[in-house]
Structure 1
Amino acid sequence: MQLTLSAPLLNTKPAVVIPVMLTMLMLSFCSAWASAQDERFSRSVVVEAARTLAETRFQPLQEVPEELLSLNYDQYRSIRYRKGAAVWGDTPTRFSIEFFAPGSLYDTGVDISIVENGQALPIPLDEDAFEGVSDEIGEILTSISKVAGFRLHYAFNENYQDEFVVFQGASYFRAVSQGQSYGLSARGLAIDVAEPTGEEFPIFREFWIERPSSRADSIVVHALLDSPRVAGAYRFGIYPGAPTRMDVEATLFARQELRHIGIGALTSMYTFGSMDASDRPDYRSAVHDSNGLAIVNGMGEYIWRPLNNPRGLQISAFMDINPQGFGLMQRHRTLEEYQDLEADYHRRPSAWIRPTGNWGEGHVVLAEIPTPNEFNDNIVAYWRPATPLKPGEPFQFAYHMSWPDQRPLPQGFGRVVRSAYGLKLAEPYPQMVIDYSDLASDINLEEVTFDVTLSAGSLVETVVQPNHRDGVRLIITFDPEGARLSEIRAKPTYQDKAIGETWLYRWTGN
């Protein structure tokens, strides 16, 4: 399916809402939460808080004072959380926490509590917590006692704690594995992505971070999600390493029926690469945080879909029952493939979502939004359940998430390492070039064949060539026959068995 919307969708963000006083409906939630605070903290406390919250009308987070909102980019960037104030920074615990100040684009603050010995206590913020601020701004930050988010540090070695996870803004979070640089982000929940009525952006309005023991190599973060039409309780079991992993559990309570939600939502950037060259001269050969969507569907088929920076909004839906996994991948891992000495695109993480249990019917959604440069995230991928969320019916889901360099494939199973697009020499026919590697050593490359189909147009020819010792190259030449869009599918086989990823692509005549 194809949708075309105007480019301003690219900069869609939650609308700024004028702060309002809490209504009587909200008081019931506050009372319930106050009672919960007297108990020993557990996940059930957050679940009950979400359930109670969903029975009240949504209340936007209050904006921070104008003095913070008026900070420009450089002023905000100069504000740093003081290293000496890091939570657990001077203790044997291998983790520590630092906080982000609200202000500039981060127009609201959230509440964060630390859980120790079963008790949840608000984080301490004094006037010296943040550096790079004037006395006036420091006093304001202390008086509101809220932060924009936090980052976790972990001692990958004995001498230094590296930052590896950030929760900041709406329900966004991101992570890196050892040796990586930040790239794509994840979301707690996506709602109505690319719908004509506009997207709804849920928020994490409160966090609880459990203190690990001095020997623990994992940490647990709880979050209370809220949005005009849904509330939810989240638990993140976080394991730093190579790769960094997360176990995510969530329970949602709908205020209204929700027909379009996104689970395991990922947000990334793709500007140009081997499938579509830059529209303007650029010394770099590729600019992206991710270059493909990978899926293992419920039937066990491995799928690779290269990303695209289209002329108009493109929505692709991959129907499935009980998917085994999906994610946005950054497969190109060498500097030579980007030639960018500052951005470190070759060190950006991939992200892989593996469902826990059966997710039922639905589809993996890929949204590709036009962008003129790399400063805008323009790629969204998520699982959309077929069954709508309904008020009074809790909706639970869980998944394992990892932030690897590459998603492992079965031994000897072909991986797409390069996809390229051009025109046939001396003829006006489009050509797709797909390179596979890591094929099993006992395969006779001369006998590899491909099942190739087009949704529109006709095949002119397909050419299969051995490419190095363990790979093949497929060249697809086709005649669009006037079509402006064609879904292309290619599956490598050997002796009637699949030997590599199924390659999918939407050609739009660009």
Structure 2
Amino acid sequence: MGVTRRELLYRMAALAAWGAAAPLMPGRAEAVGQGEGEPFSKDWLLDRAQKLARAPYAPPSERLPAWLEHIDWDAYQSIKFRADQALWLDEDLAFQVRMFHLGLYYRKPVVLHEVVDGRSYPIEYSRDLFEFGPKVKPSRTHDLGFAGFRVAVKDDFERDMFAFLGASYFRAVGKTMQYGLSARGLAVNAGKETPEEFPDFRAFWLERPAADSYTMVIHALLDSPSIAGAYSFAVTPGEPTVMQVESHLFPRIAVERLGIAPMTSMFLNGENDRRVADDFRPEIHDCDGLAMRRGSGEWIWRPLRNPSGVLFNAYADDNPRGFGLLQRDRVFDHYQDDGAYYDKRPSLWIEPVGDWGKGEVILVEIPAKDETFDNVVAFWHPAEPVLPGQHLSFSYRMYWGNEPPAHSNNGEVVATRIGLGGVPGDKLTVVKRKFVIDFRGGRLAELGWKDRVEPVISASEGRIEAPAARPFKEIGGWRCNFDLVPGAAEKVNLRVYLRDEQGAAVSETWLYQWSP
């Protein structure tokens, strides 16, 4: 599943701490002026990735100098990038770049370059770019490289808009400036019983933006034992922050499960799942559901869970129009967290560009005991076999913010609640679970009792009792409820949507996998 949630929370703290101001001193992160540079283009990067895939895999060194080898979290946290040394500080551009130091969890160096007018210049490591706390005693050493980088935007250079740090992980924010879920460049064999492989971004090329540009272009070289790749990210901050991604992949060996546009998030407990709920906060999650816009046009909402055992679900599709992990619930009172602010966490929506063909959106949910663990991953898995010697290309847009760029014309699920079935006061003779689903939006706000809206409910096992749908004026939508009698089933796949008296759908489709 990747790094733990605790490590990601550490990163969030580090992102804030590394922005601290410091006195002026020489050593600013600059690249131009070091010779004539080297020619750089997308074609050059593709050629390099392809040649890399033809050669045996050479893992990056994780060896650190003695003064970094055994530092603890507090010591690592004390290593701060000097804000006055940021790349493009004096260029009057919309972006400034600051670097992460190697150490602790981040042992693999990445090489950074600046690209100006089609030529690439290395950004060299220097101790003078950082200040070190009393527990860290840096020695004069060779070019260590960097662990990653983060980018801030004009009008608020103290807070990040996006950052790349660790393996192929990166994150971004929208208008709330609140980090939440993470993305990755690629997933390899995620959710399998065999160990997952985590490709690394080994080098980055940062294009210097034009003076009037609010888009920053980043290129990256990816490598792993199974696959090499060339990536380009065109990032436009805002609400939402949009990343235009172009990826070219060159497998070294056959890959059984390739994960395109992978996302990693945390779900501990919510309205639908209170398995781990001994906390003063009613809900704890970065995202509350997986949304999908199928190639057929159907919209699907799958609430997330914190299961007692690993759950693996694959949703087949042909040319998907979008999918993402969303945080739909944005009411502070539902979380009561004035530190993590889960109500402000961004959603992430993936919009494929071009023909992605047949495949499946995969969702993996694993048990979590607390909020420091990222226990949810989602990605697109293409149906075609991934074989050595291929050149695979995928382009997509990533939207980081409060709302995805597209919505269903029908009602959307706004809450899922589950509890004891039956009628209060009546003695239950069999096990029953009650499901209550609230829909809002689209035509539902205009429909009332006389319009005869009915739920369409199916279950893979067991039987459905007492299905009903009714207007719910408190939310301006409709509430659907039913009882599930699972019998001896260990898992039951449920499907629900609302339709009008003409048989037309008036809501998106709700999917759920129930297990005792």
Alignment of 1:100-249 (within 5 A): 100-133=100-133, 137-139=137-139, 143-155=142-154, 157=155, 160=157, 162-249=159-246
- Can you give the 5+ residue segments of structure 2 that lack an aligned partner in the other structure? 8-35
CA distance in 1, matches of 2:80, 2:3: 32
Structure 2 SS opposite 1:128: helix
Q: Is the 8 A contact 2:413 2:437 kept in 1?
A: yes
TM-score by length of structure 1 reads 0.90
Once residues 387 and 244 of structure 1 are traced to their aligned partners in structure 2, the CA distance between those partners, rounded to angstroms, is 31
Equivalence map 1:401-480=2 (5 Å):
401-410=398-407, 412-424=409-421, 425=424, 426=426, 427=428, 428-440=431-443, 441-446=445-450, 447-468=452-473, 470-480=476-486
- Deviation by residue 1:112-137 (Cα, 9 ceiling, x = unmatched): 10111222111133322112345974
Q: Aligned AA for 1:500? A: S
Rounded to whole Å, the distance in 2 between the matches of 1:276 and 1:38 is: 56
Task: Say which is worse superposed, 161-170 or 273-282, in terms of deviation.
Answer: 273-282
Task: Kindly provide the amino acid, as one letter, of the partner of residue 103 in structure 1.
Answer: G
| C-alpha separation in 2, matches of 1:221 and 1:448 | 50
Change (3 A) 1:231 1:84: same
The 5 Å alignment of 1:9-408 reads: 39-63=38-62, 64-133=64-133, 137-139=137-139, 143-155=142-154, 157=155, 160=157, 162-408=159-405
Helix, strand or coil at the partner of 2:149: strand
Give the TM-score taking structure 2 as reference length.
0.89
SS of structure 2 residue aligned to 1:342: coil
Aligned counterparts of 1:432 and 1:262: Cα–Cα separation in 2: 32
Q: Would the alpha carbon gap of residues 59 and 422 (structure 1) be closer, same or farther in structure 2, given more than 3 Å must change?
A: same
**Paired position in structure 2 for 1:507:** 514
Shift in Å, 1:399: 0.4
**SS state of the match for residue 47, structure 2?**
helix
| 1:447-482 deviation per Cα after TM superposition (whole angstroms, max 9, x unaligned) | 211110000000111121211173000012111111
| In 1: Cα distance, 2:302 partner to 2:325 partner | 10
| Matched letter for residue 143 of structure 1 | H
User: Where does the alignment leave 5 or more consecutive residues of structure 1 unmatched?
Assistant: 1-6, 14-36
CA shift at 1:318, angstroms?
Answer: 0.1
Question: Does the 8 A contact of 1:262 with 1:383 survive in 2?
Answer: yes
Q: 1:104 to 1:151 in 2, by over 3 A?
A: same
Q: Secondary structure at the match of 1:248?
A: strand
Give the superposition deviation at 1:103.
0.2
For the Cα contact (< 8 Å) 1:463–1:475, is it kept in 2? yes
Structure 1 distance, partners of 2:236, 2:449, is 41
Query: CA 1:445/1:393 → structure 2, altered by over 3 Å: closer, same or farther?
Result: farther
- Assess if the C-alpha contact under 8 Å between 1:10 and 1:371 holds in 2: no
- Matched residue SS, 1:433: strand
Q: CA deviation at 1:370?
A: 0.5
Moved more, 220-229 or 464-473: 464-473
Task: Find 1:485's aligned residue among 491, 513, 516.
Answer: 491
Which letter maps to 2:123?
Answer: I
Corresponding letter in the other structure for 1:100: F
- Tell me the residue number matched to 2:33: none
Q: Percent identity?
A: 39
What's the CA shift for 1:499? 1.4
CA distance in 1, matches of 2:6, 2:52: 26
Q: CA–CA distance in 1 between the matches of 2:78 and 2:495?
A: 49
Query: For 1:193, what is the secondary structure of its paired residue?
Result: coil
Contact kept? 2:175, 2:401, Cα under 8 Å: no
**Match in the other structure for 2:25:** none
Whether the 8 Å CA contact 2:186–2:199 is kept in 1: the answer is: yes
Change (3 A) 1:256 1:350: same
3-state DSSP of counterpart to 1:52: helix
The one-letter amino acid paired with 2:51 is T
Checking the alignment, whether the CA contact within 8 Å between 1:219 and 1:238 is kept in structure 2 is yes
In 1, the alpha carbon distance for the partners of 2:207 and 2:81 equals: 20
Matched-pair contact (CA < 8 Å) for 2:152–2:160:
yes
Give the Cα–Cα distance (whole angstroms) in 1 for the partners of residues 37 and 53 of structure 2. 21
Are residues 12 and 394 of structure 1, via their aligned partners in 2, closer, same or farther at CA, if it must alter by over 3 Å? farther
Q: Which amino acid aligns with 1:451?
A: V
Q: Which amino acid aligns with 1:370?
A: P
Name whichever of 388-397 and 292-301 sits farther off: 388-397
Q: Give the partner amino acid of 2:358.
A: E
Residues 467-476 or 403-412, more deviating: 403-412
Alpha-carbon deviations, 1:320-346, whole Å to 9, x = none? 111110000011112111011111101
SS at the partner of 2:109? coil
